Structure formats: structure tokens, C-alpha cells
Amino acid sequence: MRSALSPSPRPTARDAIVDAAIRLWSRNPGATFSEVALNAGVGRATLHRHFRNRDDLLTVLAEICIEETNEAVAAAIDRSASASRQLQRMFEAVIPLGDRYSFLYRADIGDEHTTAEYRQQLDRVGTLVGELKAEGAVAADVPTAWVVAQIDQLIWTAWNEVASGRVAAADAAHLAARTLLHGLGKEEQP
Amino acid sequence: MRSALSPSPRPTARDAIVDAAIRLWSRNPGATFSEVALNAGVGRATLHRHFRNRDDLLTVLAEICIEETNEAVAAAIDRSASASRQLQRMFEAVIPLGDRYSFLYRADIGDEHTTAEYRQQLDRVGTLVGELKAEGAVAADVPTAWVVAQIDQLIWTAWNEVASGRVAAADAAHLAARTLLHGLGKEEQP
DNA sequence: TTCATATGATACAAAGATGCCTCATACGAT
DNA sequence: ATCGTATGAGGCATCTTTGTATCATATGAA
């Protein structure tokens, strides 16, 4: 009998499927189950054994994404630092993840639990925005929802520009933070 | 015989299809041809008479979008004004169009001509960015590609925030321009 | 009225995706 | 070595979508 600590007996197949699905659906959201199985190097039957249907797999992917993002953010954030510093660290931690999870932007997740967790992530960003405002880094008259939307978009835009080679990976996080806080005009205090 | 000026004899059906497809695919990009036909109030056969297949319809929609966007921008831009002013006017003109054409963001257009025209639109924005830099409204050290990407994203983000009621429609364009040029930090010169 | 054309309803075949099943096999734990 | 389990290959029935064709009808122009 296997240890109670590893609920999945042979995780290789499952992991291969998850990886293949992420890789494949990033380029083609309509890729079929057969293609995913082929790309994962497993039989289509095996895929159905692990994931009942498309939505099931998609939900699992979304939850993995959310979990990994939470971990990355938690590891990067230093709550004793200034809010601006936290913002910068968050950009650094999350932008590289865009590579793995950009496809979720086009997919629509039906699962309630997943969407709830996503909303919770946005809420946490909202809290950070509140701190940014309190700190004076963000103007109080700007709607918080607008700032949150900008942060969200900046992450994907930054990843996209890095992925297409138009912006250096090392610059992305700083560029994103600068864009949000100071805009792209000439800096008054260099 | 019909006038040579109107190549489409009875434009109502075609227009109804286009409208329905835009409306439907905005919410569900995977909506079927039958659904589009039903929603347009025409038979599925009629739909096939006007558009050979899905890609055909999608390409036409994309071209309509590009055309309308070009017209809106052309009508709004006053080339004798400052680049900053032109940017603001462009935001004003284009943000409301997001309502009609947001679904194109998730669709992938295979048609070469269409993608070429889209790239051309981005090039025009790039030119405007060049003028913004020359004018000193945008810092010279920021990659032009980054600025273009920001403008592109701002349009959709702005529309989305307006559509969801979190930001007033009247504020959107100004907020977008401010975000891009000055960021969301406290303004040094109020 | 008469005629051409667009349309709606319907049917049909082809293709693809999906979900489920079976069976022989390879692998790991014991 | 043995046993249990996951897997791969393949088959199969079903469902949906798609593209096409047919035919009767409505509409608009002459």
C-alpha cells in the first residue's frame, strides 16, 4: 500500500497531462482531448481516467494556477516593506507566471470555487492598493477598481512583451511599477 | 435590377447576422452557427449563403471592426493638435467601441489581410508615440513597443471598467490618458 | 401581373469530439 | 515471484457541428 501522504500513486501521467494541456491550450484554446493526450504522451483513455471532461481539467489547471500564484506572491512579499516595494516584488514574482497561465485569460471557468478564489486574489490586490493610497504612492481620487484593473493588465502585458522579445525580462517588473505609479511621461524627480 | 451602388440587394439579413454574431460571440466565443442564425432571426441556410464558414464570418467581423475603428479615429484626430491631445481624443473615440469588438481579443484571426491591417493600426499608434516622445510627453528611454502595448491595453481595460459600472463613462478616456502619461501616483503639478 | 431573387424550413451525409468499455501489458510494491 | 494497479491501444455508440441540397414561399422590381 502506498503512503497516505501521496494521494496520487503515479503522478507522472497526471503531471504530463497538466503540462501538456497548459502548453497546448496556451496556443490553441480549442485543442481537442486527443491532442492533449497525444502531446502528453499518454493514451486518451488515461486522460479520461484522470479528468472526467474538459471543464474538469480546466478547473484543475485554474486551481493550480491560483495556488502557484498565491505561493509566488506570498514568497515574494515582505509585509514589513513599503507598499510600493511590495508592488514591485509582486510584479517580479507574478510576471514570469504569465508564460504558464496566459491561456486562462481566454478560457472562461464555470467553477464557482475557482472564480471565488480569483476574486479573492483581486481583493488582496485591492488591499495593497489601499495601502498604496495610504502611503501616498497612489492618488486617493483614482478609483481603486481602476488601479486593480491596471495592475492586472500590467502583469499580462508585461509578460506578453517579454515573451515576444520586445522588452527585456529584467526590465519588465520595474517598467510595470513605473508605468503604474509615475506613468510614462518624463520623470519630474529623476 | 438593383442599383450598382448597393452590392448587397437586401442588406437586412446580412446585417442582422453580423449584429447577432458580434453580440453572441462577445459573451460566448464558441457559440455555434445555429445559435447565431437563431439569434439573428434567420435560417441557418441563409447564414451559410452569406458566409461560407465560421472563419469567413469572423474575418468579415474583424474587417468591419478595423474599418469602424479607423473611421472613428480619423474623425476624432485633429492632426494640428498636440500629440497628447490626439491621444486623449483617440481614447475618447475608441474606448466605446470596445463594447462591440471585445470578442475579437479572444478570437484568433487567421486571415492575413486582417492581421496585416491590425498591425498597421498598431504602427499608426507607434507613430503617435513617436510624436509624444518628440513632444516630451513620453520619456525617450521607454521602449515604444511598451507604450503601444499600454495604449492597446488601456483601451480594453477602460471599456471593461465602464461596462462593469466601476468607472464612469465620462471619466474613462481622461483616466486612461492620465494613467499612461502621469501614472496613478500623486500629481506633482495639480 | 410576372419574373427573378432571397429566404425559411427541412433533410441529409460527412466529419469530428466525446465518453465509455475491454483487454493485454508493464510497472511497483510486497 | 506474485499480485494489484495504472496504462496503452483500440473499438464503439452517441452527439454535435458543419456544409450542402432541395423545395415551397415571400418579396420587390419590371
3-state secondary structure chain A: CCCCCCCCCCHHHHHHHHHHHHHHHHHCCCCCHHHHHHHHCCCHHHHHHHCCCHHHHHHHHHHHHHHHHHHHHHHHCCCCCCHHHHHHHHHHHHHHHHHHHHHHHCCCCCCHHHHHHHHHHHHHHHHHHHHHHHHCCCCCCCCHHHHHHHHHHHHHHHHHHHHCCCCCHHHHHHHHHHHHHHCCCCCCCC
Give residue A11's pLDDT.
Answer: 64
Measure the CA–CA gap between B47 and A83, rounded to whole angstroms. 55
Q: What Rg, from alpha-carbon coordinates, does chain B have?
A: 19
B122 touches A at CB < 8 Å: no
Q: Is the CB of B52 under 7 A from strand D?
A: yes
The answer to whether residue B190 scores a pLDDT higher than 60 is no
For residue range B45-57, what is the model confidence (pLDDT) as tens digits? Answer: 999 999 999 999 9
Protein chain A, residues 4-63, with a C-beta closer than 7 Å to any atom of nucleic acid strand C: 10, 32-34, 44-45, 48, 52-54
For residue range B62-105, what is the model confidence (pLDDT) as tens digits? Answer: 999 999 999 999 999 899 999 999 999 999 999 999 988 988 88
Q: What mean pLDDT do residues B133-147 have?
A: 95
CATH superfamily, domain at A61-182: Tetracycline Repressor, domain 2 (1.10.357.10)
Give me the residue spans of the domains in chain B.
Answer: 79-182
Q: Output DSSP code: residue B187.
A: P
Question: What cell does B66 get?
Answer: 478595423
What average pLDDT does chain B have? 89
Higher pLDDT, A100 or B187: A100
Which stretches of chain A score pLDDT less than 70?
A: 1-11, 187-190
B170 touches A at CB < 8 Å: no
Give residue A109's pLDDT.
Answer: 82
Measure the CA–CA gap between A87 and B141, rounded to whole angstroms. 22
Q: Is the CB of A30 under 7 A from strand D?
A: no
Give residue A187's pLDDT.
Answer: 59
Give residue B10's pLDDT.
Answer: 54
Q: Is the CB of B118 under 7 A from strand D?
A: no
Give residue B6's pLDDT.
Answer: 36
Give residue B188's pLDDT.
Answer: 54
Measure the CA–CA gap between A138 and B183, rounded to whole angstroms. 9
Task: Look up the CATH architecture of domain A1-51.
Answer: Orthogonal Bundle (1.10)
Specify whether the CB–CB gap between B77 and B90 falls below 8 A: yes
